[in-house]
Amino acid sequence: MSSLFRKNIQEIAGYVPGEQPQTSDWIKLNTNENPYPPSPKVAEAIQKTATSRLNIYPDASATVFREAAADLFSVSPDWILPANGSDENLTIIFRSFCEDGSTIAYPYPSYVLYETLAKIQNCSVERLQLDHNFQWSPQDAAELTKLCRLILVPNPNSPTGNRWTADQLATLRPDNGILVMDEAYGDFPSTPHMGQLLSESRFSKRTIVTRTLSKSYSLAGLRFGFSIADPELTSGMLKVKDSYNCDAIAIAAATAAILDQDWMLNNRRMIVETRQRLANALTSLGFEVSPSDANFIWVVHPSGRHQYIYEQLKAQKILIRFMKFAGSNQLAEGLRISIGSDEEIDKTIDALQQIVKDLNE
């Protein structure tokens, strides 16, 4: 049966998401979920919709959400394109702008789903290699802007947690293509999100910002994201999306979540405080901890035994992410640890203390 598939589909391995155990006795610090519940207003919106609106199709344009998001980002609603998670926004972008044989680029290491989406579209992929300071070469960037249809930049980056400046991002705008700023973790930095850059002339016309409600709004299980882009780009992408890509419950819940900024910001405050506490603890244990603007941290241990550390934690039902990047000389491997609740982080620190002690003996 495999011969029935397109040649490029046969050849790709497919994206592998983080482990998702289905029992509740795990400490999950491997997929950057929010440890705190969503706003209570989300449950209210879900209940109201579930009892009154499921017999009819949802609003294909998700108008109430578009209006709420537009107000938050100081744009008009025709800049907003809701989707079934920001991964669907990325799929829509690839389908809208990439022809067979187009070239895309992204910083490496970062979100490898970009490569999978490119290969599904039969596109070539260029990796913009990051050095040990998580920076790219200006010369390499200049070459890629001439070559690429899409350049995708997760900002803050995963797995490293660093955040690039507006001036750095401006150097990556393709000469004849689109710059995609993937802000899955855009609510966790202390400075304003890059979505506000769309008001600047150097970004306004050929830049797309993608956002998700999975992380900062605690809605990973719901699947809702959106993009922000000039209405001319957005109207073109609307032709590509599924007719009813967001269901009525998701639209209602996402709207309630994004309207309750106080709830989200309080959760963010707790995550940022715990992030710093975890970073301090791991530094004292001998880990090299990279400064992070996300809801996770990237750490390297001088022993280099990252897979061993991951496996020892997993044996205690604590999941983190062991990551190894082929072809990266500077960032070959390390551990990405999501920020959980204070109780989860305390247990993880205690477990790591014993693991590091055993490594040092």
Summarised one tens digit per residue, pLDDT across range 129-160 is: 999 889 999 999 999 999 999 999 999 999 99
Distances (CA, A) of 114 to 108, 117, 119, 211, 228: 11, 5, 9, 15, 18
pLDDT at residue 201, rounded to an integer? 83
DSSP class of 18: P
pLDDT at residue 256, rounded to an integer? 98
pLDDT digits (tens, 9 = 90+) for 237-279: 999 999 999 999 999 999 999 999 999 999 999 999 999 999 9
Task: Check if the beta carbon of residue 289 is closer than 8 Å to that of residue 299.
Answer: yes
Run of H or E residues at 28: strand 27-28
pLDDT at residue 332, rounded to an integer? 78
The C-alpha atoms of residue 188 and residue 200 are separated, in whole angstroms, by 22
pLDDT at residue 33, rounded to an integer? 97
Output the pTM of the full model.
0.94
10-residue averages of pLDDT along the chain (361 residues): 78 80 90 98 96 92 97 95 97 96 96 94 95 92 96 96 93 95 91 70 91 97 96 97 96 98 96 97 97 97 96 97 79 92 98 94 75
The C-alpha atoms of residue 250 and residue 256 are separated, in whole angstroms, by 10
pLDDT at residue 191, rounded to an integer? 61
Q: Which two tokens stand for residue 255?
A: 């709207």
pLDDT at residue 361, rounded to an integer? 75
The C-alpha atoms of residue 30 and residue 19 are separated, in whole angstroms, by 7
pLDDT at residue 11, rounded to an integer? 81
